[in-house]
Structure 1
Amino acid sequence: MSHVQHTPTTEPAPWDPRRKEVSPAGPEVAAASADHAADATCGTGDDHGAVTASLGNRRPGSPRRGRRLVPAAEAASGQPQLTPTQRLLALDTWMKSGLPAGDYAPLVGVSKHTLYAWKARFEAEGPAGLMDRQRGRPTGSRLSEVTKRSILLMKEQHPDWGVERISALLERGPALSASPKAVRRVLAEAGYELEERPTVPHPDHVRFFERARANQLWQTDLFTFVLKRQNQRVYLVAFLDDHSRFIVSYGLHASQSAALVLEVFRAGIASYGTPDEVLTDNGTQYVTWRGTSRFRQECDQRGVRQIVATPRHPETLGKIERFWGTLWRECLETAVFADLGEARTRLGHFVDHYNFQRPHQGIDSLVPADRFFAAAPQVRRAIQERVAANALELARSGVPKAPFYLTGNVAGQAFTVHAEGETVILQKGQQRAAIALDPRPEPVLPEAASTTTAAPPPTAGVALPPVVAPPPPVVAPLPPVVALPSATAPAGVVASPWTGAVAPPPGGSALDRLHRLVGDAGGPATDAATVTEVRP
């Protein structure tokens, strides 16, 4: 039988009408309590103490649960905590009274669940179970001391290691489990702090790609330069094998048309087979913004996949771009071509030198032919026998010219005549005169009839020596004109009426300067020479 005792108070707690409480006696008593509460609010002070006592089964003076506004001093103090001795005394009294936990707990100001917890802790640990304990989750790391010590040792020996690396090495080495967050917590407890350092953005790293065998991928691009003599811009297209850097075909023309690219592409396929892929840029010769370009149609017909590089990324075609730099530095920068035909032939010799004689550092100092013909060495030997030994000199300077040098003495003054390229230099002392020869063939003039002058009759009384005719001059035969040998590199040529020979611009010409220099002497002037006076 349970007994509920209500201790009267001199200062009853204020009643809150918003609080709804049910009396242990049942809903009828709760309804009556509500009626008494209404009477109490109306001013029936006699029943105020009884109504207050029936509003709940909590200990008088204990704080209500929930949230409310209280003074700061009261909020700081809170409910007083029982000491371990008081807990033991309350537990002993409860066990001796035989009251249910729900009836006894309000008497001591705790809940029945707290009584049950004290009882369980006392049965498990004895009086030590009723000692004060830290509430909530324990702070700090819950790793073992071995793991903590290992983390601190690794951080001391390697300050640049992060939590991710330490966690991975703990698992792989001593097989200690510690997540990166747990490692960070241990380091924070040891005094390590996170330091934010501004990072410097690094440039994008260079990416390399190379196909595994020849004829898997060709790279193609266009290059332009100016023929110095004609002051005419020409365009060069080439196809390069990605695996070996071997130039499979090239073509030189006065315009950058799609027809030139197609002819060069067909010439390379006819000589070395069809590639699997072709890498191009976004030039109009390869790509059109509407429809399908002629080059794409040609690739589709031959079963070749066209790969188009990203716009404004020339490094994608880095291998063919590197070849253009080599061609310019080693040949075109100093070479002078007579016309377009000679430029094509001499460029072919440079391609032969590049393919068969020039080591390439990008392929371990091999020549491109070493890689391209790795599976067919006999084909390489057959083609290399046709490559001129001096292919680079033929590309740079053309056919070597026979040397010319003449020296003599006229009226006690020494002079020399020698050739410098296409110019004949006449030097007397410190004075020089240059005669620029016209590369065009000289017109053949008919020989004039030889005239003989009769010797005057001898004067009487004067003995004259006999007139001896001078010997005819000995003219050495001119060396035969040596033509440039043909190159072995396949060239794509598109029929065009332009050959590179253009008419001289209007204005003062070399012939006018020649007439001004030799007109006073009455000497003949030809269209094949131009004389220019050069003073030191």
Structure 2
Amino acid sequence: MNSHKNARLTFEGRKLLIERIAAMGLMPAAEAAGISQRTARKWLQRFELHGLDGLYDRSSRPARTRTGLDEALRQRIEQLRRARMPMRRIATTVGRSVATVSRLLARLGLSSLKVLEPLKPLVRYEREAPGELLHMDTKKLGRIERIGHRINGDRTTRSRGAGWEFAHVAIDDHSRAGFVQMYEDERKASAVAFLQAAVAHYAALGVTIKRLITDNGSAYRSRLFAKTCQALGIKHTFTRPYRPQTNGKAERFIQTCLREWAYGRTWNTSDERTAWLPAFLSYYNARRPHSALGYRPPASRLGGNNLLQLN
């Protein structure tokens, strides 16, 4: 028995109550125990019916509930749900409350109709050689003027109006070799400048970029960007609208950059964060193990000795 600290009666107290009732009567025994006559009579009746076992606490769970579901009804509800019937309609059909049906479907893992949809197979691809496909994307980062309240807990140090800066990222589909530069914006001039810098960077590694994939941002859709790709001899393709998985390698590379560089430590200023970018890229490309490459660094898939260029 787990009685609360202010309980009037415990098991031993109920035994004493029965003894007092036998000695002095119901009303005096109830007054001596500090309980009502109704409560004293309840424990006396339980003692007369069950003996000392009747003085223990009973479970508060009801013996029967109106909303109980037998096995046949549970199976019927599951079948109706798997037939994609809405929850409220199921409740009306089987004659139970929505709450009862909802609890059963939650236990079965069928609360959402999405679980009934067949899983689409993952389509993974990888080009056979470096340079066959380059992924590009951008990520907006807040400028850092000083250490903010999220680090020191002092809200008076919040930097209002600091603005934004943009990380333009590129990653080779085959080798996973990454390249990042910071720009003031993500407009077409910055996108073109980054593309030219990325092509020159990979050329220094002995990699010729043949094809490029980006999202449908206005900078990548601009005529200037298209002419730059044409001048560089690069075929430019776009991802499907609202389908970032098509450019998944760039999206994943951005998450790694955020976790291990941009948000990986406390920066005093944005300039300090940008100054550490080359060191991070050197580590990522030359030493960091990549799960998609058998836990080898991207440099292992580049032809020739590229460690000097990547370090």
* Band of TM-score, shorter chain: 0.5 to 0.7
- 2-structure distance, mates of 1:334, 1:300: 38
- 1-structure distance, mates of 2:293, 2:266: 31
- 1-structure distance, mates of 2:118, 2:289: 33
* Offset, 1:232: 3.0
Tell me, what secondary structure is at the counterpart of 1:239? strand
Tell me, what secondary structure is at the counterpart of 1:236? strand
* Offset, 1:313: 0.2
- 1-structure distance, mates of 2:308, 2:280: 18
* Matching residue within 381, 385, 409 for 2:307: 381
- 2-structure distance, mates of 1:272, 1:220: 13
Contact 2:137 2:214 in 1 (8 A): yes
Tell me, what secondary structure is at the counterpart of 2:284? helix
Tell me, what secondary structure is at the counterpart of 1:285? helix
Residue in structure 2 matched with residue 232 of structure 1 by the alignment: 163
- 1-structure distance, mates of 2:252, 2:142: 19
* Offset, 1:331: 2.3
Q: Which amino acid aligns with 2:309?
A: I
Give the number of the structure with larger relative contact order, counting CA–CA contacts within 8 Å between residues 6 or more apart. 2
- 2-structure distance, mates of 1:336, 1:256: 25
Tell me, what secondary structure is at the counterpart of 1:307? strand
| 1:87-114 alpha-carbon deviations (Å, 9 max, x no partner) | xxxxxxxxxxxxxxxxxxxxxxxxxxxx
- 2-structure distance, mates of 1:304, 1:328: 28
2:212 matches 1:286? no
- For the structure 1 residues 236 and 279, does the alpha-carbon distance in structure 2 shift closer, same or farther, using more than 3 Å as the test? same
Q: Which amino acid aligns with 1:282?
A: N
Name the one with the larger helix percent: 2
2:175 matches 1:244? yes
2:148 matches 1:222? no
Q: Which amino acid aligns with 1:239?
A: A
Q: Which amino acid aligns with 1:241?
A: D
* Offset, 1:198: 5.4
- For the structure 1 residues 258 and 337, does the alpha-carbon distance in structure 2 shift closer, same or farther, using more than 3 Å as the test? farther
Runs of 5+ consecutive residues of structure 2 not aligned to the other structure: 1-81, 85-115, 147-158
Runs of 5+ consecutive residues of structure 1 not aligned to the other structure: 1-196, 388-536
- For the structure 1 residues 224 and 338, does the alpha-carbon distance in structure 2 shift closer, same or farther, using more than 3 Å as the test? same
* Matching residue within 254, 269, 282 for 1:324: 254
Q: Which amino acid aligns with 1:381?
A: L
- 2-structure distance, mates of 1:267, 1:312: 28
1:325-364 equivalences in 2 (<5 Å) = 325-364=255-294
Tell me, what secondary structure is at the counterpart of 2:168? strand
- 1-structure distance, mates of 2:184, 2:235: 28
- 2-structure distance, mates of 1:208, 1:338: 40
* Offset, 1:343: 2.6
- For the structure 1 residues 235 and 287, does the alpha-carbon distance in structure 2 shift closer, same or farther, using more than 3 Å as the test? same
1:492-503 equivalences in 2 (<5 Å) = none
2:140 matches 1:206? no
Contact 1:280 1:308 in 2 (8 A): yes
Residue in structure 2 matched with residue 297 of structure 1 by the alignment: 227
| 1:319-354 alpha-carbon deviations (Å, 9 max, x no partner) | 110111111122222434444433322122111111
1:117-132 equivalences in 2 (<5 Å) = none
- The number of equivalent residue pairs is 180
- 2-structure distance, mates of 1:299, 1:222: 18
Task: Note the aligned Cα RMSD (angstroms).
Answer: 2.0
Contact 1:212 1:243 in 2 (8 A): yes
- 2-structure distance, mates of 1:282, 1:242: 19
2:202 matches 1:268? no
2:301 matches 1:368? no
* Percent identity of equivalent pairs: 26
Contact 2:133 2:173 in 1 (8 A): yes
